[in-house]
Amino acid sequence: MTLRNSLASCLMLLCLSCQAQTVVESMALFDEGKTSEAVAQLNKLGQGGNADAQNMLGVLYDNGQGVAQDYKQARVWFEKAAAQGDPHAQRHLGTLYAKGLGVKQNKILAYMWLDIARGLGEQNAVRTLAELSETMSKESVTRAQELATRCIAKSYQGCEVAI
């Protein structure tokens, strides 16, 4: 049984390593101007649950790079990656909520996602969070912090329905 578990662990690490290389390879294709191939590869990885690919697809849809700009589609990909604990996706999702892009503007959810991302070391979230908090009441900030704590406790699952 121990040998079986060791083999399973090795295969899992090998798979994760291959997946990470593929995201890097996808971005190399993008840099080489092979946009449709890169997006197709990222879509395949994203559908397979790769958080890095999901976040990257969110960025592409957010910025309209290689795909038509679509904030709702960006939100879908950011939500998938954010639910896996990706701090970059959490920051992007918070920014969409702060600006009302692809979602109804909601400063409490924006603050919640940005606060979670900041707690995971996402440095860009710090500045955005400071700017956002200046536009919110103390009560709203407190509510957002409570939601962030609950969201973390739920491993980032179902966080938007908490409001």
Task: Give the chain's domains with CATH numbers.
Answer: 2-162 (1.25.40.10)
Residue 2 has a pLDDT of 45
Q: What is the DSSP letter of 38?
A: H
Of the candidate ranges 3-12, 32-41, 42-51, 79-88, the one whose mean pLDDT is the lowest: 3-12
Residue 163 has a pLDDT of 55
Per-residue pLDDT band at 161 (split at 50, 70, 90)? low
Residue 136 has a pLDDT of 97
Check residues 72 and 6 and name the one with the higher pLDDT: 72
Q: What is the dihedral of CA 77, 112, 94, 161, to 10 degrees?
A: 50
Give, in order, the Cα–Cα distances in Å from 29 to each of 55, 71, 121. Answer: 17, 23, 29
Question: For the residues 44-63, what does the mean pLDDT come to?
Answer: 96
Check residues 12 and 100 and name the one with the higher pLDDT: 100
- Cβ distance 20 to 52 under 8 Å? yes
Residue 30 has a pLDDT of 86
By percentage, how much of the chain surpasses pLDDT 90?
80
Count, residues in the chain: 163
- Cβ distance 113 to 144 under 8 Å? no
Residue 142: both structure tokens together: 């407190």
The whole-angstrom separation of Cα 26 and Cα 66 is: 12
